[in-house]
Structure 1
């Protein structure tokens, strides 16, 4: 366990070992997901009025996730560039060999991303403690994303590095917005964040085309096809929910202003 924890500080030494790497057991993922949903239900039932939260908690939380997203983006980009130069091709970004071992710095940031999804549960708890309504989109997204990130590592899923780059990039903007709001500054680009999230999902579907080509043309296929199917269905549901959210939120505001 100590050795596994030390690897968190050394990207080159990272290795995903089921049941040994921290939070790598499916039962841990299941318990965390169920615990999140039960906690949200209990807090929503019990916190009918806002519960006082220290003023620095929300800004610190949002700033931390903004900076962490920036670090994940930069770290992943560096490793993607280096790995592409080593392999002499971008093909691995769309189709990793089935015998790919989930180890080294190129997967280290996927693991950090996976861990960050547990920390993001705090997003929900802060909203509940403030007695703010929770949307199905919010709870569904936070409950399922850890499973998606877990499968990236467990199945050495192809396309995960592109997904990590786009998602962490959007999260830099999103958590910067939340941070500014939490300190009393309300930028006028909330709609831009939603639009970026929708574009992110559309882009993720476009990357399925080269994956499908390699999956069919290569005798061995690509790593993580089953996990990618789960990811695709999840992203499709999120895309639909985000489009509905955008239509309901911003078009209604436009009607009021007109």
Structure 2
């Protein structure tokens, strides 16, 4: 049994992509490279794959964030801080673009149909190109901890909200669980998240360079849209799970469902407080 419309859309997009003259080159670089094609996630053996590493990494991030936000901190010259921030944003927006492209090419190259994309069969092992890009995605979420350090060094403590710390710490756990359980549908979530992050880090880069784009609200709107898309993807996973032979990683899906619901609530609250108050100020001016 299939979800209507999406299988046809998937085949149409896949057929179009495979016909492009540049696709074989992208496939060679982003799918068939031996390091990518032969990737295998082995808990405790693959770098950064042990439960101990995950636990210590998240606890260290939360502890250091709390400590550094409470004590007196070294101050960097503003030009130096801006330069570091700009380099950090360039790195992450470039990496996000490569991850989105790599995962998308892997989907079109490796996944035969929409059903398989949403619902990996039970017993699926986390190997191959899709899981390579999931692994890079997981590591990138640890690199994103630098976002918090830059906020602290810039003394922009209003930006160091519960939402910020909660999001950065929990998303690492989510990515780890997706890899460790070979969770179904993660590839679509990865692509949508990376596309949003390209937009987000481009905005932050402009800010670091002294420009203030007028599309700040669009960044938050994109994030909210991403969460709603994740809901749709998770709903389709449940549909395929209970109308077929079952999907891989359904238990980690439960954790991710809770996490995304909580993020949607927190981001919606942030959106309402940030932009409703702004519009009220404009009306009262």
Instruction: Specify if TM > 0.5.
Output: yes
Please tell me whether the aligned partners of residues 11 and 104 of structure 1 are also in contact (alpha carbons under 8 angstroms): yes
Output the CA distance in 2 between the equivalents of 1:67 and 1:146.
20
Which residue number in structure 1 is paired with residue 116 of structure 2? 92
Which residue number in structure 1 is paired with residue 255 of structure 2? 230
Report SS of the residue matched to 1:10: helix
Q: What does the per-residue CA deviation read over 1:190-239, in whole Å, with 9 as the maximum and x for residues that have no partner?
A: 100100100110111111232112111223x1100110110010000000
Indicate yes or no: 2:59 matched with 1:31: no
Alignment partner of 1:162 out of 158, 183, 188: 188
Indicate yes or no: 2:80 matched with 1:56: no
Indicate yes or no: 2:150 matched with 1:126: yes
Q: What does the per-residue CA deviation read over 1:66-109, in whole Å, with 9 as the maximum and x for residues that have no partner?
A: 0000000100110011123xx3x211111101111111112111
Q: 5+ unaligned residues in a row in structure 1: which ranges?
A: 1-7
Please tell me whether the aligned partners of residues 49 and 130 of structure 1 are also in contact (alpha carbons under 8 angstroms): no
Q: What does the per-residue CA deviation read over 1:143-180, in whole Å, with 9 as the maximum and x for residues that have no partner?
A: 11100000110000011001001000000000000011
Q: TM-score, normalised by structure 1?
A: 0.92
Output the CA distance in 1 between the equivalents of 2:142 and 2:65.
14
* Aligned pairs for 1:1-258 within 5 A: 10-47=35-72, 50-52=75-77, 54=80, 55-84=82-111, 87=112, 89-133=113-157, 134-219=160-245, 221-258=246-283
Coordinate RMSD, CA, aligned: 1.5
Q: TM-score, normalised by structure 2?
A: 0.84
Q: 5+ unaligned residues in a row in structure 2: which ranges?
A: 1-32
Please tell me whether the aligned partners of residues 47 and 131 of structure 1 are also in contact (alpha carbons under 8 angstroms): no
Q: Which portions of structure 1, spanning 4 or more consecutive aligned residues, are displaced by more than 3 angstroms?
A: 47-53
Which residue number in structure 2 is paired with residue 5 of structure 1? none
Q: What does the per-residue CA deviation read over 1:101-147, in whole Å, with 9 as the maximum and x for residues that have no partner?
A: 11111211100000001100000010011111211100100011100
